Amino acid sequence: MKLDCCGLACPEPVLQTKKALESLPNDAILEVIVNSIASKENVLRYAHNSGYEAKSEEREDGKTIIAIIKGFTCNVIEEDKESPFLDKTLFLKSDKVGEGELGAKLIVGFLKSTLELPKLPRRIVCVNTAVFLTTADENAPVMEILKTLENKGVEIYSCGVCLEFYNVTDKLKVGKIGNAFGTIEMLFGGDGTISL
C-alpha cells in the first residue's frame, strides 16, 4: 500500500500512517511518501515506537519514501525499576520564564537546576518559541545544559511545525523533531507533566 503525505501539516502524516497500518493485514508493507524532514522523522519514530521495522530512502526530487513492514516487531527491554528518571514530561512553551532578559536568565536557571535533581524528567518537549532553546547558538549557556540532559538520557523533542514556522528546522542542535500526536501521547501517557 502507498500513502502520499506530501504537503500535510503535523500531525497528519503520523495519523494517516497509524490508520493505514491499522487497516493492513500482518506481513504487509506500507510505503509512506513525505517531503519534509519533520514528517520523515515523525513517521519513522512512530513506526519504531510502535514496534515496526521501518527504513527510509531519499529521492532526488526531495521526497522521502518510508517503508514500514507490519508483522515484524522489535523486542522491548523491560524498564529498570531503579530508573534515574521520573515518568514526567517537562513541557516548555517559551524560551523564557516571564519576559525579557530576566525571563531568559530564569529558563537557564530552571533547566540547570533540573540537573541537580535526584531523578530527571524522562523527556522535555519544546513548543512555540521554546524551540529557540534547542536551536540556540552552540555557545549559549542553555545549549550546554540541554546537551548534558540529553547525554544523561533525557529525550528532548522540538515541535516540527514550530521549527518550520520560525524557519529554524536546519538549526536544531539538540534533541529530535517532534509532532503533535507524539506529544499528546507523552503528556497523557506518563505520571504527569510539568509546564514552564
- Provide the pLDDT for residue 42: 87
Dig out the grid coordinates for 18 from the structure: 497509524
| 10 counts as catalytic | yes
Domain with residue 188: its CATH number is: 3.40.1260.10
What are the b/e assignments for 124-142, b being 16+ CB within 10 Å? Answer: bbbbeebbbbbbbeeebeb
| CA atoms within 13 A of residue 49's CA, in its CB half-sphere | 14
Q: Are 42 and 183 in contact (CB under 8 A)?
A: no
Phi first, then psi: what are they for 74, rounded to 5°?
-90, 145
Which set of grid coordinates corresponds to residue 173?
Answer: 542542535
Q: Which helix (H) or strand (E) element contains residue 91?
A: strand 85-92
Please check whether residues 47 and 105 belong to one and the same domain.
no
Are residue 89 and residue 65 in the same domain, yes or no?
Answer: no
Q: List residues bridging with 178 in a β-sheet.
A: 159
Tell me the per-residue pLDDT of 53-103, one tens digit each, with 9 for 90 and over: 999 999 999 899 999 998 755 544 444 457 788 888 899 999 999 889 999
Give the domain range for residue 120: 85-195
What one-letter code names the amino acid at 172? L
Counted residue by residue, the chain has a size of: 196
Answer yes or no: do 50 and 90 share one domain: no
**Quick one: three-class SS letters along 113-130?**
HHCCCCCEEEEEEECHHH
Q: Reply yes or no on whether the pLDDT at 144 is more than 80.
A: yes
Domains identified in the chain, total number = 2
Cis status of the peptide bond prior to 11, with omega within 30 of 0: yes
Instruction: Answer whether 92's CB lies under 8 Å from 128's CB.
Output: no
* CATH label of the domain that carries residue 58: 3.30.110.40
Residue 98: strand, helix, or coil = coil
pLDDT of residue 72: 54
Tell me what the mean pLDDT of segment 146-168 comes to. 95
User: Of 38, 69, 100, which marks where a domain is finished?
Assistant: 69
- Identify whether residues 92 and 173 lie together within a single domain: yes
Alpha carbon distance 40, 140 (integer Å) = 28
Between CA 176 and CA 187 the distance in angstroms is: 17
- Domain-located, residue 74: no
pLDDT (tens digit, 9 = 90+) per residue, 165-190?
999 999 999 999 998 888 888 878 76
Q: Which of 5, 10, 126, 159 is catalytic?
A: 10
As beta bridge partners, residue 152 has none
Q: Are residues 89 and 186 in the same domain?
A: yes
